Amino acid sequence: MEATSLSSHFKELKSRLVKMILAIIIAFSACYYFIEPLFSILLWPLDIAQNAKPNLIFTEVHEAFFTQIKLAFILALYVAMPVVFYQLWAFVSPGLYKEEKTFAWPMMFLAPVLFYAGGAVCFYFVLPVVIEFFFAFQTELVTALPTMKAYLNFCTKLCFAFGLAFQLPLVLIVLLKMAVISVAKLNYFRRYAILIIFVFAAIFTPPDPTSQLLLAIPMWLLYEVSILFGYFIEKRRQVTSESA
């Protein structure tokens, strides 16, 4: 009986994984088909920072081709993310209680939304500022000529860091809901949390104070927002325990 149940779980997992992979393949095909306009959109922060038509180069014979492949794959992961999260939810939800489902479903929905929000904030507000900061070091003798690969790596690393940082409220809310931490502890450890936030920002951003502050400050605000949500969670838990 247990072997049959385990086998059905493996079949279900295999089916969900196949659907995830198919979603990524379809998204990759669509992104690669429109790779030129998509790459031109990627150049928008560079265009704003330079206040002129952006100019990228490639220094290796195969660089342009593989950079486009990499961009299409990264965008495919972004596009297919809701499908991936839904398939994960569809796999784990049958084993959850009703109360757990009520709490977990918004988390599964908000995770990609917050990741998109973090990437969008980085792309539209942070990248132009950071690129302008670095390009200010140009002189009459030194001209910035970034390569396609270097520019893509720079943008994706920074956008990923912001998307990851915007998951902080979800992590803290889950820990609060599970009673692993409390609002009192979050308030007490605020100074240490701010230090960790700035260390995280220093690791995942370029070595300049501008980009580090632009990542650390939103994370700090998200930390404070998590504390506010924590008050509601603890108040609801107290009311539930009193009524029981």
Segment 198-216, tens digit of pLDDT: 998 888 887 778 888 888 9
Residues 23-45 have pLDDT tens digits of 999 999 999 999 999 999 999 99
Alpha-carbon separation of residue 132 from 31, 147, 166, 206, 207 (angstroms): 28, 16, 24, 13, 14
Average pLDDT of the residues in 65-91: 93
Residues 146, 208 within the same domain: no
Q: What is the pLDDT of residue 81?
A: 93
Task: Return the SS3 of 166.
Answer: coil
Q: How far apart are CA 46 and CA 55, in angstroms?
A: 9
Q: How far apart are CA 38 and CA 159, in angstroms?
A: 16
Task: Return the SS3 of 178.
Answer: coil
Residues 185, 146 within the same domain: no
Q: What is the pLDDT of residue 55?
A: 80
Is the pLDDT confidence value at 20 over 90? yes
Residues 34, 103 within the same domain: yes
Residues 6, 120 within the same domain: yes
Q: What is the pLDDT of residue 62?
A: 93
Going by C-alpha positions, the residue among 204, 231, 232, 207 that lies closest to residue 218 is: 204
Residues 121-171 have pLDDT tens digits of 999 999 998 888 888 888 888 888 899 999 999 999 999 999 999 999 988
The count of structural domains within the chain is: 2
Residues 215-235 have pLDDT tens digits of 899 899 999 988 998 888 888
- Among 160, 184, 201, the domain-final residue is 160
Residues 84, 124 within the same domain: yes
Residues 139, 188 within the same domain: no
Task: Return the SS3 of 55.
Answer: coil
Residues 144, 173 within the same domain: no
pTM (2 d.p.): 0.84
- pLDDT above 90: percentage of residues in the chain: 43
Is the pLDDT confidence value at 3 over 60? no
Q: CB–CB of 220/197 below 8 Å?
A: yes
Q: pLDDT-derived band of residue 1, with 50, 70 and 90 as boundaries?
A: very low
Going by C-alpha positions, the residue among 205, 204, 44, 198 that lies closest to residue 123 is: 44
Residues 36, 153 within the same domain: yes
Q: How far apart are CA 226 and CA 241, in angstroms?
A: 22
Which two three-digit tokens encode residue 141?
A: 């003798």
Task: Return the SS3 of 61.
Answer: coil
Q: What is the pLDDT of residue 34?
A: 96
Q: What is the pLDDT of residue 166?
A: 92
Q: What is the pLDDT of residue 52?
A: 66
- Among 111, 127, 160, the domain-final residue is 160
Task: Return the SS3 of 176.
Answer: helix
Residues 144, 174 within the same domain: no
- Among 130, 160, 190, the domain-final residue is 160
Going by C-alpha positions, the residue among 154, 135, 152, 127 that lies closest to residue 211 is: 127
Q: What is the pLDDT of residue 138?
A: 85
Residues 105, 23 within the same domain: yes
Range of the domain at 230: 167-244
Is the pLDDT confidence value at 89 over 70? yes
Residues 205, 92 within the same domain: no
Residues 154, 177 within the same domain: no
Going by C-alpha positions, the residue among 221, 222, 235 that lies closest to residue 183 is: 235
